[in-house]
Every structure is written in C-alpha cells, then in structure tokens.
Structure 1
C-alpha cells in the first residue's frame, strides 16, 4: 500500500515539475514542427483510451469491408433496383460503408493527434464521431436487420458496447489534459485563453473538412440518375477549396498574418456556397430519393449540409475572436 502511494506521488510530482518548467523534456518532446507528448509520460488511462480506440476502429473497419464484399456479391439488388445503371455500387449499403470508412479515418486522426498533441477539443470531436457511427449502425440495423443477416446484429452489439466505452474514456482523457499547454504557455490566464481559442478554431476547421469530405463521399457513390455529374464535379472542386481554406485558417492562427486572415475571410464565401449548393441540389433532386432504400441518403445530405452551415458560422465567430488577439505575444510562445 505504501509503495502504491509513493508511486502515485512520484507520478503527480513529475507532472507538476513539468508544469513548473523543470526538465520539461520529461513530459514533452519536439517532432518536426510540433510539440508532442513524451510516450513515456502517458498515463495508464491514456494508454487504455488509445488501445481501445485503435481496437474499435480496426474492428469496425473490418466489419465495414466485409459489408462491402457482401454488397458486391449480392446481385439481387442489381436485378430489382439498379436496372444495370451502375451495378452493386447503387446499393445504399455501399454508400454508407464508404461514409463509415471516411469517418473512421477522421476518428483515428482525432484520437492520435488529440492525445499526443493534447488537442483536448479533438477528444470531444472524437466522441461526436463515435456517436455518429453508433447512430448509423443502429439505423442501418433497423432498416435492414429484418433480413436476417447476422453480421448486422454482430456489428450492432459490438458498437453498442465499445461505442459508449470509447466516449467515456475520451471524456475522461479530455479532463486530464492541460499539462502540455501549461508547459510552454505558462500560467498566464490571458495567454491560455488566447491559445485555447486558437485550438478550438482549428478543431472547428477539421470538423468542417470532415463534413465536406463525408458529403462528397456520399455524392460520388450515388449513380448519375440520382446525383448529377455537375454536382459531383462542383463538390469535388469545392472540397479541394475547403482543404485550402482549412490550411490557410490553420496557418493564420500560428503566423498571426493579416494577409492570410484577409484571404481566409474572402474565401469563406466559397465555403458557405458549398453547403448551400448541396442543400439546394438535394432538394431539387429529392424525387430521385423516394425509394425506401435511398431516401436515407437524401436525409444524410440534408443533415450534412445543415451541420456544415452551423459549423461554418462557428468558424467565422471564432475567426474574429482570434484576429483581435493578434500581437498579444502568442506567436513567439507556441508552435503548431
């Protein structure tokens, strides 16, 4: 018992030593341009979260790939619905499998980047991503579970067990974070507030890019009879511009460059137009989604476009919160 207490005390004292600037290399290290956590300083809770997240992501990915293989081998859908237009790719199961893979990739980025760079708000974004995946699996089972396919039930049970566990551990890790920012920002409340505003802004940007890529993945997976070629081309170009807009936004935070800020706000009109155009086109072509199997596709596009507009509004609000803090001394203190 005494040994355990001593070990806990040593761990806590070591972390507070890092906060006070004593041998900070014990807590953090520099990789390229980034300040990241020293792997040796990861707490057991953080190791549990990382292993659980990777296990859950890889397991879900495996089941999703199996779903794609099953869809490809299912010729009945082609005979009854597609009429030879694009084969098994018309099946909404294929569309949502691709959407699931896209979101799994982003969840992986949030888990690893959020943990090792202590981007604490990415932990909350990861929690939201897991929740979206769980909701999709539940709705997919409700729509098609009556077909008697065991794989859907297996996926549902696993996600309903490991999904909440992932969210609980992510929130617990979220509340543990803060040592890294104190290590190189210091205990100045004003500087910490400015730094956290920048981190929040970058998290909104990443989430916005996730929404845009998800919407594009859905559109590209649908046949031309449902989604026009012009929509696919315009959204593809739009996502490329969203990626550029995201990079510019990330750079202006850490460079405090007024020119980048002007370019960013001017390009924001493209971002707004992206989601408005998506919603309008989905509404115009809504009749194409009247089948029970594809009406859910339109619903997801409506939700994605609406989330994109809300997230865009938050980005603009945080943008103005950031630029008023230019010149406060943060550029000299932090690395990306």
Structure 2
C-alpha cells in the first residue's frame, strides 16, 4: 500500500512537471551549429536570401537583365535621336513607353525571384512577349534603321529564353509555394489567403504600369489641342497613381478597413477618366493613327485590371483578422494575435 502511494505521488509529480523543450544542436556548447537562414524579413514581407537562388534562376536573371538593359540602352538612343531631330512621331512616343515598361520589367525580374512571386514573373513574361511583337513590327516597317535592327536581333535571341525560363519559374513558384510556406506555415487556409494577397499586390503594380503608359499616350496625342481638363488630370495622374498604390498596400499590410474604404473611393477616378478619354478618342479615331489605337487598347486593358483589382481587394478584406499580417509582416494586434496563439495550442488528448 505504501509503495503504491509513493508511486502515485511520483507519477503525479511527473505529470505536473512542466515540459522541457527538446535540445537542439545549436544548444550544445562547442558545436557552433546554426540553422541556415533562408528568408529575411523586409518591409514588403519575407524574401529569400541570395544563397537560396538556384542555377536556373541565376540563368534567368542574367539573360533577362542583359536583354532588358540592352533594350533600355537602345531605346534611350532612339529617344535622343528623335529629340535631336525635333521629331514627335509615334516612334518617339512608343520608345518612351517601351523605356517605362522595360524599367518595370527590370523590377519584376528581381522582385519576382527574391519573393518567388509567380504572378510578377507571369507579368514579365507577358510584357516580354508584347515587347517581342512590337520590335518585330517596328523592324519590318524600317529595316534600314541600324538601332532597330540591333534591337530586333537582340530581342529575337534573348526573348524566347526569357519567355521559356520565366514560364518554368512561374509554374514552379505557383506549384511549390515555398516562400508562402516559409511565411505562414503549413496551414492551407493561410496559404490561400497569402497567395490572394500577393496576387492583389501584383495587380497594383501592373495597374500602375498601365496608368503611367496611358499618361504618356494621352499627352502625346493631345499636344496640339490639349485642354484644361487634360492638363489638370495628367499633371497629377502619376502622383495620384503612386498614392493610390501605396494606399492599397498599406490597407492590406495593416488590415485597416478605414484605408480600404478610402481605397475604394479613390478607385473611381481612373476608370471615369479612361471611359471619358476612350470615348473621346474613339469618335475621332483614325485606323492608321497608332497613338489613338494605343490609347484605346491601353484604356480598355487598364479598365479591366482596375475592376479586377477592386474585386480582389474585396476578397482580401474578408480575410482580415485571421492572423495573416502577423505571419507576413510580424505585427501584433488583439484579435489576430489570439488566432496565432490558438494555432500553437495542442488539443487535449482523450483519457
């Protein structure tokens, strides 16, 4: 009896004793073993370290950067020559738009690989395809231009490699979701939320890219008969776009519903101007006027993207308060911190 009681006391003491965390290799003195750091916390969320970039990614970055920098250099040469000749033809306008989009592509390359953003790589592949088509058309219209000839052969050689490698990387990023897993863990629900948030952020950047291009096209088309409304709208257009993109980013980052309401309210301005401008240009459009055709095309695509952005923001907003921002940005708040705390709790086992 006494032995049984002593055994019971020891058993109770064992049960009540707090659990000791398992010993890790880095806790053993003298070994100096530390786990390899694969991600780094940034303002935009977790990004990969340079050491984790694979060979195929390095090949993609090198080929793509060489192609984009070559395009930028040749395009700047075209712009300088056109300005010297006081030429305001469509070649100058398309060269400026090409330069703007090339700079965006350069950003997509670096950001897409470091953050394993499948969506940004897809946008880059699409932009490269459009660039490839434009250079072919431009070369076919003026085969005697040395700069256009060099640019044509550069894009013909490097363009397909960028498209193929970019497509493979985008497919790999989308299927593996490695950076999303390292950010939010194994929760499938949080992974889907994070993927939707990243999709929304990519749409914001693409919307900005389209709007800046639209501003250049509209300015070039209205140089001779630009009105007061166009001056006011276009003078603040780029600044407004930057503020609107920042507003969308911070709305999601801080899960602020007040900022979301402000974001939706300010989302109306661009579609209203696009509809007005497309109708205005459509009435007097000439089939051979490339600038007016570009305004209509860019305007329609921009309008579609803006609608998709707002729809995506609505679904992203529904995910507020589920612990996503703590996982992605390491912030703390009452409601969402409780969700993360609940995830770490081990459910009681049945007796």
> Which residues of structure 1 form unaligned runs of 5+?
1-21, 75-86
State how 1:105-120 maps to structure 2 within 5 Å. 105-120=103-118
Instruction: Give the TM-score normalised by the residue count of structure 1.
Output: 0.81
Greater gyration radius: 2
Between 203-212 and 134-143, the greater mean CA deviation after superposition = 134-143
Instruction: Give the TM-score normalised by the residue count of structure 2.
Output: 0.78
State how 1:96-135 maps to structure 2 within 5 Å. 96-135=94-133
Provide, for residues 119-178 of structure 1, a one-character-per-residue CA deviation record: whole Å limited to 9, x for no partner.
Answer: 221000111111121122122223333xx2233222222212211211111112223322
Q: Label 1:33 to 1:246 Cα distance change in 2 as closer, same or farther (>3 A).
A: closer
Answering whether residue 260 of structure 2 is matched by residue 264 of structure 1, we say no
The 8 Å contact of residues 252 and 261 in structure 1, kept in 2 or not, is answered as yes
The 8 Å contact of residues 216 and 232 in structure 1, kept in 2 or not, is answered as no
What is the number of residues matched between the two proteins?
Answer: 295
Higher normalized helix content (fraction of residues): 1
Runs of 4+ in structure 1 over 6 Å off? none
> Which residues of structure 2 form unaligned runs of 5+?
1-32, 331-351
Which of 166, 169, 188 is 1:173 aligned to?
A: 169
The 8 Å contact of residues 43 and 329 in structure 2, kept in 1 or not, is answered as no
The 8 Å contact of residues 238 and 274 in structure 1, kept in 2 or not, is answered as no
State how 1:1-336 maps to structure 2 within 5 Å. 25-31=36-42, 34-74=45-85, 87-88=86-87, 90-145=88-143, 148-177=144-173, 178-222=177-221, 224-225=223-224, 227-228=226-227, 230-286=229-285, 292=288, 295-335=289-329
The 8 Å contact of residues 216 and 236 in structure 1, kept in 2 or not, is answered as no
Offset of 1:39 from its aligned partner? 0.3
Offset of 1:273 from its aligned partner? 1.3
Higher relative contact order (CA 8 A, sep 6+): 1
CA RMSD of aligned residues (A): 2.2
Offset of 1:285 from its aligned partner? 4.8
Report the counterpart of residue 14 of structure 1 in structure 2: none
Provide, for residues 200-232 of structure 1, a one-character-per-residue CA deviation record: whole Å limited to 9, x for no partner.
Answer: 111111100000001112233456226546424
**Whole-angstrom CA distance in 1 between matches of 2:133 and 2:256:** 41
Offset of 1:320 from its aligned partner? 1.4
Q: Label 1:159 to 1:312 Cα distance change in 2 as closer, same or farther (>3 A).
A: same
Partner-residue secondary structure (3-state), 2:141: helix
The 8 Å contact of residues 41 and 329 in structure 2, kept in 1 or not, is answered as no
**Whole-angstrom CA distance in 2 between matches of 1:102 and 1:322:** 29
Between 42-51 and 233-242, the greater mean CA deviation after superposition = 233-242
Between 104-113 and 132-141, the greater mean CA deviation after superposition = 132-141
Between 251-260 and 169-178, the greater mean CA deviation after superposition = 169-178
Q: Label 1:156 to 1:252 Cα distance change in 2 as closer, same or farther (>3 A).
A: same
**Whole-angstrom CA distance in 1 between matches of 2:51 and 2:229:** 51
**Whole-angstrom CA distance in 1 between matches of 2:278 and 2:34:** 53
